[in-house]
Chain A
């Protein structure tokens, strides 16, 4: 045993740092790929865990409503207020609803909702599954004839995938309300006229792309939180790390996806 330890440590010492890091990175990537693959394998196979999916949708969706509502409403007010002086310079404050609609629907709603969900939902999933892993609850589920991946991971990922777009749409609604409150205080615009201008500036492509983008963000947040939590180790320290890594990784991926999606949508618009 001592001999093998010595040879193993010699091998490790001989490998350059870059090679070791690349090895670890590719191993981690293959692990993630196999986790995502298992999700797609399990999601279509019965049993479908409908009751647990509904419970998770409630946890992700309904429990996030207060934070999303407040953020959406305030974003509407602040964005309108901050945009007014620039438009007023050109006497174009009547364009405010158009500007707000484009900003909210195309970028702010999906992105801000995803970032809030990364913090609230992603960390929650990471910590909950991490804690279940270190206290052997996941193993307990396995020995009692339940597929823990299906019950814990698949249900949560489905919930985030479908609840984030719903929350993003709700964010748009509250953002519009906030924006109108600010507009009504400063310009003589009726609510109907505001709404009409708001919707005249956006297209189905905008709405569809926002929904698709939010679906991708939701999937990312769910799968990252589950992956970090489900594979957590090293006791309570591991739980904290899982929660933290869920937030950081999902936020990072959300920004990358936003950038990539922007390029795709611009290409579709140009075509």
Chain B
């Protein structure tokens, strides 16, 4: 598989992370992370399970507080925002959860309406219906509108999860393991969808994964999390194929050779 052709992004950082540290008890997960996400790019954060990849995007979304360091999102320091300011910032972020996190007690339509009704005032029923239908059409699942999440397949759930985040037209997308637990064909469809979202909505995205096929297909830039720090950053080829780093080579071989 050929690596994705990098987008010609402007060098304006929409997320800036400096010296980020977090520990859980005696377990030091992030040990001084520095990272920039530039406008319009897809940045893939790679790493083995348990290295703190999901923790990183939860800190970006203000769901976890770091022990040390700063996270600046769209010009705002996440750690210094009050509850209301944080909620306002979160509306500019789309968070696609590993298990989709669809609300089990609601239909697909209600899942999509939920963030819209609660955050956008003075919307008519027609406006809401139009937005829901557009978001579903974006992910190619218009026919599921009245289904319950329990009636959907894993891939469909992922797509609906992405549609739910897109309905508020976010500027930044955070994907947590978008292809985890999916078969290769469905994973490929999700990879296409991530690229489509980037092109159609001009979003900047951080994609957390340990799936190199996904990283190669969607990543404009790869950042590899090793021992709580980003030790390697660059294009896919720079990080893996032109690399002499044993850990990167091992990661590559387990994904593509074994």
* A residues lining the B interface (CB < 8 Å): 1, 4-5, 8, 128, 131-132, 135-137, 139-146
Q: Are B97 and A146 in contact (CB under 8 A)?
A: no
B129 interface hit (Cβ, 8 Å): no
B99 within 8 A of A: yes
B-side interface residues, number (CB < 8 Å): 27
Residue of B nearest to A151 (CB): B118
Do residues B97 and A144 form an inter-chain contact, with CB atoms below 8 A? no
Contacts known (A8-B26, A131-B104, A136-B99); A144 close to B63, Cβ less than 8 A: no
Least CB separation from B165: chain A residue: A144
Is B28 in the interface zone, CB < 8 Å from A?
A: yes
Out of B26, B91, B99, B102, name the residue touching A145 (CB < 8 Å): B91
The verdict on B119 contacting chain A, using a C-beta distance below 8 Å, is: yes
Query: CB-nearest residue of chain B relative to A140?
Result: B101
Taking the closest CB of chain A, its distance from the CB of B112, in whole angstroms, is 11
| Contact among B26, B99, B105, B118 for A144, CB-based, below 8 A | B118
Chain A nearest CB, measured from B86 CB (Å): 9
How far is B135's CA from A20's CA once the two chains are assembled, in angstroms? 52
Q: Could you tell me the distance in whole angstroms from the C-beta of B83 to the nearest C-beta in chain A?
A: 8
Residues of B with C-beta under 8 A to A137: 101-104
Q: Which 4 A-B pairs have the closest CB atoms?
A: A140-B101, A144-B115, A136-B101, A143-B95
Give Cα distance in the complex from A4 to B25, angstroms: 10
Which of B26, B87, B97 is close to A140, meaning CB atoms less than 8 Å apart? B97
Expressed in whole angstroms, the Cα–Cα distance for A5 and B99 within the complex equals 33
With A144-B118, A145-B91 known to touch, is A1 a contact of B28 (CB < 8 Å)?
yes
Q: Are B26 and A143 in contact (CB under 8 A)?
A: no
Q: Which residue of chain B has the shortest Cβ distance to A142 in the bound complex?
A: B63
Minimum CB–CB distance from A222 to chain B (whole Å) comes to: 18
A135 to chain B, nearest CB (A): 6
Write out, one digit per residue, whether chain B residues 22-35 have a CB within 8 A of any chain A CB (1) or not (0): 00001110000000
Known: A8-B26, A139-B95, A143-B93. 14 other contacts (CB 8 A): A131-B104, A135-B99, A137-B101, A137-B103, A142-B90, A144-B90, A144-B119, A144-B165, A145-B90, A145-B91, A145-B119, A146-B114, A146-B118, A146-B119
Tell me whether B97 and A136 are in contact (CB under 8 A). Answer: yes
CB pair A146 B98 closer than 8 Å: no
Q: Which residues of B contact A145 (CB under 8 A)?
A: 87-88, 90-91, 115, 118-119
Q: Is B168 at the interface (CB under 8 A from chain A)?
A: yes
Inter-subunit contact B26/A5 (CB<8 Å): yes
Contacts of B101 on A, CB cut-off 8 Å? 135-137, 139-140
Contacting residues, chain B, for A142 (C-beta < 8 A): 63, 90
**Interface status of B163 (Cβ within 8 A of chain A):** no
Q: Which residues of A contact B194 (CB under 8 A)?
A: none
Residues of A contacting B162 in the complex (Cβ-Cβ under 8 angstroms) = none
Query: Is the pair A146, B115 in contact by a Cβ cutoff of 8 Å?
Result: yes
Q: What is the CA–CA distance of A143 and B62 in the complex, to the nearest angstrom? A: 8
Closest to B91 in A: A145
Chain B residues in 8 Å Cβ range of A141: 103
Complex CA distance for A139 and B59, rounded to whole angstroms:
12
Query: Digit string of B18-53 for contact with A (CB within 8 Å is 1, else 0)?
Result: 000000001110000000000000000000000000
Whole-angstrom CA separation of A137 from B110 in the bound complex: 14
- A141 vs B90: C-alpha distance when bound (angstroms): 11
- Distance to closest chain B CB from A197 (angstroms): 47
Query: Which residue of chain B lies nearest to A6 when distances are taken between CB atoms in the complex?
Result: B26
Instruction: Return chain B residues, CB-CB under 8 Å to A8.
Output: 26
- B61 interfacial contact with A, CB 8 Å: yes
* CB of B187, distance to nearest CB on chain A (Å): 20
User: How long is the Cα–Cα vector from A135 to B149 in the complex, in angstroms?
Assistant: 13
